[in-house]
Amino acid sequence: MRSERLTPYARLPRAYRDLHLIHTTVDAFGRAHWLLRESADPPDPYDAVVVTVTDGSPHTTPLSSVVPRRPRLDSLPDGGFVLADARSREGDDQVQVIDALGRPSWTFRVGDGIEHLMTDESGDLWVGYFDEGIFGDPLSAPGARRWSSTGDPLWEYGPPAGTDGIADCYALNVDRRAAWVYPYTQFPLVEVRGDDPPRVRTTRVQGATGVAVHGERVAFLGGYRADRDRLVLGSLTESSVETVTTTRLTHRDGSPLDRRFRVVSRGSRVYVREEPFTEWHVLDIGEL
């Protein structure tokens, strides 16, 4: 079987690799961010630093009085950041917004069981939830939601007629103009664009953790067990995704991926990181 190969994208500078890595992501503008702190078990609150790499050039933003203990991170258009703990209880403000100078601004809650936390180019937060939150917290029950950066609810998923609700948000792609949700159990591909009702397309792909969309082309990365590195390339129709070919995703030299890799999906790109999570690689289906 032929394979598609990743391209090196961004690397955490060696000078910061002695710090404790909390989270890393790639934002809506293609910038790679690493959130780091000095200790694995710091006081509460604690100081941290975000190292941002754009076109190979690093920039740092010191953060003060960080509250989330094991946060997920993304950037805001004004140079600030949003951090959120995946787990929360009613009454806990798990989301903390940090301004461009690294100072805490405000906090709010978006619900338990955050699987994906991604911002778009306007600064809105898109959240996909896993099953424990969906079935245990009313805020998380829709399975996928959009919030403003001040905590106002803007949109929540409601299943169109004839489809199921979300039991687990396996993959979420937040592009500059649209978001794509890929949920368990039926694994449709749901397009969310503006204020229009979600558009649902059926797929035959199960268990993917990454999805990329470019025009009428789509790619699903991942699957169950031996299909962890599977790459399914397909085409969009009015109501379905039709499989064109199935292959494997590998490193640039053709070697297999580590089974513990993680994915961020942005438009036509799937960004991949492996332990120790200091490097990002990318597959852009617009270039295939």
Order of all β-strands in the sheet with 144-147: 114-119, 125-129, 144-147, 153-156
The overall average pLDDT reported for the chain is: 96
Predicted pLDDT at 271: 98
- Strands 241-250 and 3-5: what pairing? parallel
Return the amino acid letter for 263.
V
Predicted pLDDT at 1: 64
- Least-confidence region, from 121-125, 160-164, 170-174, 200-204: 160-164
Q: What is the pLDDT of residues 205-250, one digit of tens each?
A: 999 999 999 999 999 999 999 999 999 999 999 999 999 999 999 9
Mean pLDDT for the stretch of residues 16-34: 97
CA 20/CA 16 separation, integer angstroms: 9
Looking at the structure of the chain, the number of domains it has is: 1
Q: When comparing pLDDT for 160 and 123, which is higher?
A: 123
Token digits for 285? 């289906």
Predicted pLDDT at 158: 93
Return the amino acid letter for 143.
G
Which percentage of the chain shows pLDDT scores above 90?
93
Token digits for 149? 């950066």
Predicted pLDDT at 161: 79
CATH number, residue 155: 2.120.10
Helix (H, G, I), strand (E, B) or coil at 264: strand
pTM score, whole prediction: 0.96
CA 270/CA 166 separation, integer angstroms: 22
CA 106/CA 115 separation, integer angstroms: 22
Return left, alpha or beta for 277; rule: phi > 0 is left, psi -120 to 50 is alpha, else beta. Answer: left
Q: What is the pLDDT of residues 58-104, one digit of tens each?
A: 999 999 999 999 999 999 999 999 999 999 999 899 999 999 999 99
Whether the predicted pLDDT of 35 surpasses 80: yes
Phi, psi dihedral angles at 227 (to 5 degrees): -95, 20
> Which uninterrupted H or E stretch holds 92?
none
CA 54/CA 65 separation, integer angstroms: 26
Range of the domain at 183: 3-287
